[in-house]
Structure 1
Amino acid sequence: MTRLFVRLPLLLAGLLMFMQVQAGTPAKVREYHLHIAEQPVNITGKALPRITVNGQFPAPTLEFEEGEEAVIHVHNDLKNQDTSVHWHGLLLPGYMDGVPGFNGFPGIPPGTHFEYRFTLRQHGTYWYHAHSRSQEQDGLYGAFIVHPAGQQPVATHERSERDYVVMLSDFHDLPGEQIMKNLKKTAEYYQDQRETLADVWRQIQHDGLLSTLRERADWNQMRMLRTDLADVTGYTFLVNGQPAASPWHGEFRPGDTVRLRFINAAAMSFFDVRIPGLDMVVVSADGQPVKPVTVQEFRIGTAETYDVLIRPRNDRYALEAESIDRSGFALALLSNGKEPAAPIAEPQARPRALLTMADMGHEEHSGHDMATMNHAAHNDHHHDEHAHHRMAAKQDEHAGHHPHQGHDIPVSGWADAATPDGHKMLQYHDLQSLLPQPDQRPPARDLVINLGGSMERYIWTLNGKKFTEAEPWQLQFGERVRLTFVNNSMMAHPMHLHGMFMQLENGADAALLPNKHTIIVPPGQTVSALLTANEPGEWAIHCHLLYHMSSGMMNKVVVAQVSEENPTEHADHHHGHHQKPVTSAAPLINPSPAHGREHGNQIFHSTLADLGLYQNEHHDDSWQGEIESRIGTDENRLFIKAHGHQEAGHDANYDALLLYSRMHSEFWDIQLGIGYQERELLQQEAAIIGVHGLAPGFIETDLHLWLHPDRQAITLEAERDLLLTQRWITQPYVDAEYVLNNERDELRNGLSELRIGLETRYEISKRIRPFVDIAWTHEHEASNTKAEQQWQAGLGLTLLF
């Protein structure tokens, strides 16, 4: 009987809408105009050019009722950028989905406007954002709220007196495109929480020397960092566009039930959300109603939404959303209005997690995946009963083991939020659809999607290919498939599917699987979802970490259109929608050239220059300098490199190289080119073949063979960073040249030059790095075969452009 009363309002609303459609009643039109422009925005104390919508940062909230026809005029007032708007989580015709290069949608050029028009077939908490360049990071995002028809709640337990949007986001002082360029310059550009030598020593004391060495050897072999929870740091976290210094404020009255609509509109950040002293009842996930779940906190991935109900008892509460790398908080205030809004003291940070071998999938029964499935028998319709949420069980264990954990002591595993003893954190396995799923068929086939990437190159892929290389995935209209996301990387990926809802396989009965448009796939784990391909069109599927998508972690799902000769098969399903006719189900080229340049086919460049002044033990002066420029795509780059040094009493020596560099594997390039060497008794050009990359142990390596008819030699450059602090970094290095054959003077065969040193730098920023250096050198004198050996010490400066 209780279930009947819970479902009755929704059933009646659905019946009413059906009757209206059958009777041909026109849908009510609700219209908005959005003007997209660039204006100064001051979040962190200085005005910065950012994107605004109708003069607001972030964009205004749009509100509708289910069944209405949304007409949204988007005006591009930007001077030199195309733009677009994607309606995240909404069911609509493909042409209205707002992704340039999909369904014939070209984007919105500067000085023009585009009319989005679609009928709202759902209710819930959604959002909208740009799908062009990095405009989402720069401010083009806002809430999109669809109320049930007549503003009536879906079920009685959802009734509330107050209703607030709580939109979480991350603001950076640099524009998004510059962040992307910096990520391509060096993998460590934003890594400011790496482990130091002191951390290694603490691990030795805790785990023992042999255990520590074994674990470090594993990480060094993989060239991955245990601290790599977030690719970008330096964010200021916001609630509804406001920082903690001037927090957003929501009011309530005694006895109120308050609905909070959480939207993670961040570009790159996950948050652990809590309201200390107050329970939250989760009633919706990704806009879709779920059975109520009472929690004290939840983790919200990028692009996810959760609706919660709270019933405040005290006068004032702080709403805390802590980034999972523990670099900061988004804070807001909830109060009864009796006290004026005031700044909130930033809470003590929870312990930050360190990734484990289990997170990398290198240990059975790791207990850290959000909805890992056992697919030993994919055709078994009842396999879900074995599909327990192993991360949830492990996380519940953790939840009771951190009552006195110090904030500076790391915890183990991506899933460990250091939840206090007795507190409940929401898990994916807690989610159950409020209403039965209409399609409970077993899947006819599996689509396995391998999530991969490389922090070293900052390349992210689906099934080993970037968007610019991949062929679209073809589905037939009405087909039931399983999407199996296999995360082979060290990062969690929020995988978002446009245009359709997936049913997350989380251990619930088939009828109660929750709908999700975005699914978090933890590092090293496998998560699966069922999909009914009932929305014809071309739909983007991608990681919703903005710079992962921009690096290529995206593809196209093509649901075969029904031909115009037989349109009745889905005419009712799309009543009142505006869809450009597309009758061919043939694969489309992925992607358009312009769109490809935004998703993995960009051209980047960087230049690194350093100069050092030295003295040897005899107080003789010398100098040494190097400049290296790189330009190209991920796969094909041009290296231009020059090196020079001069010892007291000798002429300067120079090397210059021009190399074509082709990616061979995740960590290695093959290089071909030409070089020039100038010594006192040697001036020659030579062909060069070699390798450039990252060897196990994070050793940056350049190995080249110089080929000249009269002289063949091998050169080696190798270096490795060791962190004293996040800014003080010491770097052992080796530079060497070995002459294989010198036709002109066989006595000069063998080791020609060797430099072994220890350079210690201080990073004022990643771009400015003064250093001190001490080195031992060995080289032939210019005039004879006698070798000269000496110690040198010096000061210098490195610049990154």
Structure 2
Amino acid sequence: MFKINGQFPGPLLEMNEGDDVVILVKNESPYNTTIHYHGIEMVGTPWSDGVPGVTQINIQPGCAFTQRWTATQHGSFWYHSHAESQLNDGLYGPMVIHPAPRTENPYSAITDDPVSLAAIADAERNRIPMLLSDWRHITSDREWEISQESRIEHICFDSILVNGKGNVNCVPPEQQSALMTPGQKALLSRVPGAQLTDKSCLPPEVLAAIGNSPGAAPVHLEKIPHDIFYGCSPTEGHIDVVTVTKRANETDKWIMLDLIGAFGLHTVQVSLDELPMWVIAADGNYIKPSQADSVSITNGQRYTVLVKPTEAKQYTLRVSSTSDPQIMYGTSILDFQIEGQTPGVGETEPYINERGANLTSDVVYFAAAAAKPLTLPSLPTTVDATYKFTMQIDGNNYQWAFNETHRPDTENASPPLLFAPQPGLMDNHTVTVPSSASWVDYVMQVPQGQPAHPVHVHGRHFYVVGQGAGAFKWDSVAEAMAEEPHAFNLVDPPLRDTYPTAPSAQDATWLVLRRPSDNPGVWLFHCHIMSHLQGGMVIVVQDGTDELPVVPQEYLDYSCRAQ
């Protein structure tokens, strides 16, 4: 696995809005690598976005690379490798940018009590990252090698981690049956007699039957080592414990948690036993606060929440996968102590089960589509360009594509595309958008039978302005709105940097993202499931390339090669 500064996950990067940031990345591993700062828009500094072949060349073993950028945003972010699937090997860590003084915040919508507001401000200064990830006992390069040899996608993991710690939980067959989703049952039915493995995964023969493109090469299940899907060995005691103490002189004690989805595959439901959460930010952007007992988080997303415990207890944080390929869950502990009192012990009452389902009828789920930005946007009614992409399998089901072709090998491109933009260079994988101060719609189309694809866009956040089922039969959003106005929201749509398409088990689905083209650069646009990214579901957006900032000489001259 990878460690950063000797630790896993990597150290918290903490800064203030407006800070000039300088980060030295020294590669002491035997692999090429880069570091991307997920959700950071890199305004005016696209060469620090950390995408090999696109914004920089790979940092080869024994080499170092300096990234310089300005923290123009605030909120919860994270950093991770953008080389191959090294995220699955632990090359990631949390990041927080504290808001500048007098930044508008949503706290007055939660309480108007000055003491509570002061306590919330203190919680922001001491916010706690909760890095949520999935983990498996095989390196990413070996997994990719097996996928290519067997010609199926391997989507079986071993555990869910919180801040790098977690247990292998083995679900017995009788519990598997009770926890299976309708989607999972439908997938198992494709192969007569198929059952979940003892790792609670769809078996490889079911994955092979899920679907390939016409003319795809035959699969080779015999190439898959047995322990990829079978051989669950439970562990105990390896969970993260976060201790927060309420001092004797504190009237109120609020706790701010940054829930960070650093998953390679899974989408999860997260809850904190007995503690309703005030959701106050999504992907680093303040929203109008919404109280919920559980929130869904997929690859790359972040939610910032506030909780206010009043009893000294060890509250269990539950992270339960809702993805069909596997039943998997993890936990950690928020140990809330009150000065002068005996620490609380014993189990707390959960809101959700191991599959994220509510255990009582009054459990409130956070609605991501209803996350209203704190500051209302002023969106145009029409845009300057519309691009339509189909997200689909391209060949065998470990190969993925936007439109007809999957990603070419660009990781070793030199010079990187940013230094010499070439419209149309990579077939359907390079999109050239108009100059700055224009708006662009991206229509993501997903054929029937696909999972949800968490779409992540570098360079600028986007507004989620529409979503629906069936074919997107229109040439523009304006045409679609004229026929189906209920499917769109141009008044207060969510502002995100990562957002999933809807699963398309029953029907095709579509998702419309609207984004300003006002940050010239060359940016990546991809599915954030690691096997889909590595399998080719990625495009490059050449944004306002006639107005690119001048690349500093230190980046133009960078040429470190492995010794």
Cα contact 2:352–2:359 (8 A) shared by 1: no
Residue-by-residue CA offset, 1:184-212 (whole Å, 9 max, x unaligned): 3443755699xxxx99x99xxx9xxxxx9
Mapping of 1:373-392 within 5 angstroms? none
| Corresponding residue number in structure 2 for 1:496 | 456
How far does the alpha carbon of each residue in 1:232-289 deviate from its partner, in whole angstroms, 9 at most, with x for none? 87899xxxxx996332323142731111111001111211111122211111111111
Residue 497 to residue 235, structure 1, CA distance change in 2 (3 Å): farther
- Point out where structure 1 has 5 or more consecutive residues left out of the alignment: 1-49, 207-211, 226-231, 237-241, 353-415, 565-573, 582-593, 595-801
Shift of 1:561: 2.3
The 5 Å alignment of 1:438-457 reads: 438-453=378-393, 456-457=396-397
For the residues of structure 1 that align with 2:229 and 2:189, how far apart are their CA atoms? 29
The 3 A distance-change label for structure 1 pair 522 and 508 is closer
* Alignment CA distance shift 1:456-1:341 (3 Å): farther
Q: How many angstroms does 1:543 deviate by?
A: 0.7
Equivalent of 2:369, from 412, 429, 435? 429
Does residue 458 of structure 2 align to residue 505 of structure 1?
A: no
Alpha-carbon distance in 2 for matches of 1:343, 1:540: 47
User: Match of 1:521?
Assistant: 501
- Equivalent-residue separation in structure 1 for 2:514 and 2:84 (angstroms): 31
Correspondence for 1:135 among 54, 68, 86: 86
1:110-259 alignment runs, 5 A limit = 110-150=61-101, 154-157=105-108, 159=117, 160=120, 161-162=122-123, 163-186=127-150, 187=152, 223-224=209-210, 245-253=238-246, 255-259=252-256
Query: Which of the pair has the greater relative contact order for Cα pairs under 8 Å at 6+ separation?
Result: 2
Q: Which residue is equivalent to 2:203?
A: none
Match of 2:445 in 1: 486
* TM-score, with length taken from structure 2: 0.68
Cα distance, 1:515 vs structure 2: 1.1
Between the aligned partners of 1:144 and 1:153, the Cα distance in structure 2 is 21
Match of 1:642 in 2: none
Identity among equivalent pairs (%)? 24
Aligned partner letter, 1:490: Q
**Structure 1 residues 250 and 482, CA, compared in 2 at 3 Å: closer, same or farther?**
farther
* Corresponding residue of 1:289: 286
Cα 1:430–1:455, aligned 2, differ >3 Å: closer, same or farther?
farther
Instruction: Measure, in 1, the Cα distance between the counterparts of 2:102 and 2:20.
Output: 16
**Does the 8 Å CA contact 1:419/1:425 hold for their aligned counterparts?**
no
Task: For 1:455 and 1:549, locate their aligned partners in 2 and report how far apart those are by CA, in whole Å.
Answer: 15
Normalized per residue, which structure has more strand?
1
Does residue 280 (structure 1) correspond to residue 280 (structure 2)? The answer is: no
How far does residue 171 in structure 1 lie from its aligned partner after superposition?
A: 2.0
Which moves more between the two structures, 172-181 or 91-100?
172-181
Selected match of 2:321 from 320, 323, 337: 323
Equivalent position of 1:77 in the other structure: 28
Q: Which amino acid counterpart does residue 485 of structure 1 have in structure 2?
A: M
User: Which residue type is aligned with residue 264 of structure 2?
Assistant: A
Indicate the residue corresponding to 1:335 in structure 2.
335
Number of aligned residue pairs: give it: 431
Following the alignment from structure 1 to structure 2, what is the Cα–Cα distance between the partners of residues 474 and 235? 48
Other-structure match for 2:300? 303
The answer to whether the 8 A contact 1:247-1:344 is kept is no
Q: Please tell me whether the aligned partners of residues 270 and 319 of structure 2 are also in contact (alpha carbons under 8 angstroms).
A: yes
Kept in 2, the 8 Å contact 1:541–1:556? The answer is: yes
- The CA distance in 1 between the partners of 2:258 and 2:190, in whole Å, is 46
- Match of 2:459, as an amino acid? G
**Gap change, CA 1:527 and 1:471, over 3 Å in 2:** closer
Q: Which residue identity is paired with 2:458? A: H
Alignment equivalent of 1:95, drawn from 47, 60, 78: 47
Find the residue that maps to 2:382 and give its secondary structure: coil
What is the RMSD of the two structures over their aligned residues, measured on CA atoms? 3.9
Q: Read off the aligned partner of 2:442 and give its amino acid letter.
A: L
2: distance between equivalents of 1:512 and 1:235?
A: 48
* Structure 2, gaps ≥5 residues long: 111-116, 159-173, 183-187, 193-205, 212-227, 409-426, 467-486, 554-560
Map of 1:461 onto structure 2: 401
**2:402 and 2:429 in contact (8 A); partners too:** no
Alpha-carbon distance in 2 for matches of 1:235, 1:291: 46
- Residues 298, 426 of structure 1: 8 Å contact kept: yes
Residues 585-644 of structure 1 deviation map (CA, whole Å, 9 limit, x = unaligned):
xxxxxxxxx9xxxxxxxxxxxxxxxxxxxxxxxxxxxxxxxxxxxxxxxxxxxxxxxxxx
- Secondary structure of 2:52's match? coil
Which secondary structure does the structure 2 equivalent of 1:556 belong to? strand
CA distance in 1, matches of 2:405, 2:521: 22
